[in-house]
Chains A and B, each alone.
Chain A
Amino acid sequence: MANIMIRKNDQGGLVFYLPKRDLEDNISSIEFDSPEKWGGEIKLANGGSYYIEPQVPPERLPVTIRAKRLDAPD
């Protein structure tokens, strides 16, 4: 489990940021993205994936949340 930060980029896409490792990457997909349920498995452009406990969508971005690493490319 690690703290990650999710923010929006200029193009409106979601960006993943892991402060501990200074890893910044675009999020290519997020499992749940509806007004009631948000989170689940997120896939990164570099091929890695993380898991966020599904929850109600954050009121505003950026937001820091706990995430579990499922699969990282290196």
Chain B
Amino acid sequence: MSNLTREETDALIQEVLEVYPEKAKKDRAKHLAVNDQSVTQSKKCITSNRKSLPGVMTIRGCAYAGSRGVVWGPVKDMIHISHGPVGCGQYSRGGRRNYYVGTTGVNTFAEINFTSDFQEKDIVFGGDKKLAKAMEEIEGLFPLNKGISVQSECPIGLIGDDIEAVSKKAAAQYNKVVVPVRCEGFRGVSQSLGHHIANDAIRDYVLSNRDGKEFEGTPYDVTIIGDYNIGGDAWASRIFLEEMGLRVIAQWSGDGTIAEMENTPKAKLNLLHCYRSMNYISRHMEEKYGIPWMEYNFFGPTKIEESLRRIAAFFDDKIKEGAERVIAKYKPMMQAVVDKYKPRLQGKRVMLYIGGLRPRHVIGAYEDLGMEVVGTGYEFAHNDDYDRTIQEMGNATLLYDDVTGFELEEFVKRIKPDLVGSGIKEKYIYQKMGIPFRQMHSWDYSGPYHGYDGFAIFARDMDMTLNNPCWGKQTPPWKKTEATEEVKAAA
């Protein structure tokens, strides 16, 4: 199917909105838009970061998920207590496959679920004692931990526990970093506020710990911020940053440690990958320590090249040469990947609905393979994210913010993309509809997708999914008629 024109896309949005009651319709209409590259201010065409409508199926998470699951969770040598009932923690425990090196349970803990397991009596009488007890147990059982963070679940805020006091006492007692995080799930409209709260906690309890202390720096110290090392993403990025002569002194927070976080203010440049979840702390470091930050994109060779040159521009000629050397070295390898997969993927159309930075960052990687992104949207973006997206997307393509289950399904039915990339909750629906699908939050148990090495895997995975023979076998042989055969041939 050919691409829709602006009018057709507009009409499609109107049609999909038809089923809603008047008020809901008005509200949802603001979150759906036809991309127009001439608009520089996204707020003129799309509204974001608003409360989801009751009654619709949203895919968002809560502030606790943003802090525990995304920002703090991957810090491997700390223990993160899911403070409150046991359930919340179960789903935010290493499920994103934030890879790390270490011996789990001995000196690293990212995959273990620690919780204070609130019961009725804790709600009634308060859970501060229980928290102190949990910390004591942690110290006894896992003495090699480098710190503890207290990730509040909803009840903590509701019953008014004083986790700050407990943490302060424990920090003095054990002589470790103990961070209370007020990320109760009811705060804000999505996980996004959880990122912000988590960033603020890092600012208040971690960042300045080594101020004034000796650090053997080099002029080429950089950090990777906002890469959660999903399937090894941060490693695939780090490898060629080091190859071009930079020294990566911290990884936030995939495969990260508390010591790295404390050393971050010594860096010369903060490289920011996920703008949405860690711009706050980068801005803070820029103001307090004068460290510039830069957003980069390591999806697909075109964007990597662009990013490497922009990173190198912050440094002297040695790094600039290093960047060119790295680009030249990988060029033939990337060309081989493109030569192999482009003919198989050329012209295929993709619709995305993800979070964080991916709805705009992966566009380049698809374009490198000759594919086209015809619709994209974020779960929890703010206007500044859409500002950055509008330029990346083609004209008259579809933008959807906090899209509902129903809307996305209808859009897909009409636009008929060749591939949908979204989360696990969508995966089986679309696969049953007969549409190839990739789970793009944790790379469908594959990865890494960042960097040069990642692009090869990305290309292979897309090919594997799109050109999988199973899509031609949706109709069982006994139901096949001449007509369906013809339809297949025509499609």
**A residues bordering B, Cβ < 8 Å?**
5, 7, 17, 19, 22-24, 45-46, 60, 62-64, 73-74
Q: What is the 8 Å Cβ interface bit string for chain B, positions 355-386, against chain A (1 contact, 0 not)?
A: 00000000000000000000000000011100
Q: Judging by beta carbons under 8 Å apart, are A17 and B287 in contact?
A: no
Bound Cα distance from A4 to B470, whole angstroms: 54
Q: A17, A19, A60 — which one has the most chain B CB atoms within 10 A of its CB?
A: A19
Question: Does the CB pair A45–B287 fall under 8 Å?
Answer: no
Q: How far is the CA of A7 from the CA of B286 in the complex (A)?
A: 9
Q: Report yes or no: B383 in contact with A23, Cβ–Cβ below 8 A.
A: yes
> Which residues of chain A come closer than 8 Å to B382, judged between CB atoms?
22
Q: A42: shortest Cβ distance to chain B, in Å? A: 17
The answer to whether A17 and B41 touch (CB under 8 A), given A22-B49, A22-B384, A60-B290, is no
A64 to B283, CA, bound (A): 10
A-B contact pairs, 11 of them (CB 8 A): A5-B283, A7-B287, A19-B283, A22-B196, A22-B382, A22-B383, A22-B384, A23-B383, A45-B40, A45-B41, A62-B286
Asked, given contacts A22-B49, A46-B41, A74-B43, whether A62 binds B384 with beta carbons under 8 Å apart, the answer is no
How far is B387's CA from A22's CA once the two chains are assembled, in angstroms?
13
Contact B280 A19 (CB under 8 A): yes
| Cross-chain contact B43 with A17 (CB below 8 angstroms) | no
Select A64's contact among B41, B49, B287, B387, beta carbons within 8 Å. B287
Nearest CB of chain A from residue B353's CB, rounded to whole Å: 21
- The secondary structure that dominates the B interface is helix
A46 neighbours in B (Cβ, 8 Å): 41, 43
B26 to chain A, nearest CB (A): 15
When each residue 46-90 of chain B gets 1 if its CB lies under 8 Å from chain A and 0 otherwise, what string results? 000100000000000000000000000000000000000000000
- How far is B49's CA from A19's CA once the two chains are assembled, in angstroms? 14
In the bound complex, do residue B283 and residue A17 qualify as a contact, i.e. CB atoms below 8 Å apart? yes
**Of all chain A residues, which has the CB nearest B48?**
A22
Bound-state CA distance A46–B196 (Å) is 24
Residue among A22, A23, A62, A74 with max Cβ neighbours from chain B (10 Å): A22
User: Closest residue to B383 on the A side, CB-wise?
Assistant: A23
The smallest beta-carbon distance between A14 and chain B, in angstroms, is 14
Partner of B287, one of A22, A23, A62, A73: A62
Nearest CB of A to B464, in Å: 38
A62: min CB distance to chain B, Å: 4
Chain B hits for A24, CB < 8 A: 383-384, 387
- Cross-chain contact A62 with B41 (CB below 8 angstroms): no
Given A23-B384, A46-B43, A62-B287, 11 other A-B residues pairs in contact with their CB atoms under 8 A: A5-B283, A7-B283, A7-B286, A7-B287, A22-B49, A22-B382, A45-B40, A60-B290, A62-B283, A63-B287, A74-B43
Chain B residues close to A by CB (< 8 Å): 40-41, 43, 49, 196, 280, 283, 286-287, 290, 382-384, 387
- B280 contact set on A, CB distance < 8 A: 19
Distance from A18 Cβ to chain B, minimum over Cβ atoms (Å) = 11
Min Cβ gap A64→B in Å is 6
Set of chain A residues within 8 Å of B384, measured between Cβ atoms: 22-24
A3 to chain B, nearest CB (A): 11
Most buried by B among A23, A24, A73: A24
The CA of A7 and the CA of B40, in the complex, are separated in Å by 19
Inter-chain contacts of B286 with A (CB < 8 A): 7, 62
- Using CB atoms, name the residue of chain B closest to A20: B196
Closest to A44 in B: B41
> What is the chain A residue whose CB lies nearest that of B286?
A62
Please report the C-alpha to C-alpha distance between residue A22 and residue B275 in the assembled complex, in whole angstroms: 12
Measured in the bound complex, the distance between the Cα atoms of B287 and A63 in whole Å is 6
User: A25 to B286, alpha carbons, bound, how many Å?
Assistant: 17
Alpha-carbon gap, A64 to B40, bound state (A)? 26
B322 to chain A minimum Cβ distance, whole angstroms, is: 21
Q: Which residues of A contact B287 (CB under 8 A)?
A: 5, 7, 62-64
Nearest Cβ in chain B — how far from A9, in angstroms? 11
A62 to B279, CA, bound (A): 14
| Complexed CA–CA distance, A22 and B49 (Å) | 10
| Bound Cα distance from A46 to B44, whole angstroms | 9
A28–B248 CA distance with the chains assembled, in angstroms: 36
A74→B50 CA distance, assembly (Å)? 14
Contacts of B40 in A (CB 8 A): 45
Task: Considering the complex, give the chain B residue whose CB is closest to the CB of A26.
Answer: B40
> In whole angstroms, how far apart are the Cα atoms of A60 and B288 in the complex?
10
Docked Cα-Cα span, A64 to B280, in Å, equals 13
Q: Which residue of B lies closest to A19 (CB)?
A: B280
In the assembly, what is the distance between CA of A42 and CA of B315, in Å?
Answer: 33
Residues on B with beta carbons closer than 8 Å to the beta carbon of A45: 40-41
- On chain A, the residues within 8 Å of B290 by CB distance are 60
- Per CB-CB distance, the 5 closest pairs between chain A and chain B, nearest first, are A62-B287, A24-B384, A22-B382, A62-B286, A46-B41
Distance between Cα atoms of A19 and B197 in the complex (Å): 11
Taken together as a complex, chains A and B put the C-alpha atoms of A45 and B383 apart, in Å, by 14
Chain A residue at minimum C-beta to C-beta distance from B280? A19
Contacts of B43 in A (CB 8 A): 46, 73-74
Which residues on the B side are within 8 Å of A22 (C-beta)?
49, 196, 382-384
For residue B478, give the distance in angstroms from its CB to the closest CB of chain A.
56
Name the distance in Å between B326's Cβ and chain A's nearest Cβ: 22
Q: In the complex, what's the smallest C-beta–C-beta distance from B449 to chain A, in angstroms?
A: 27
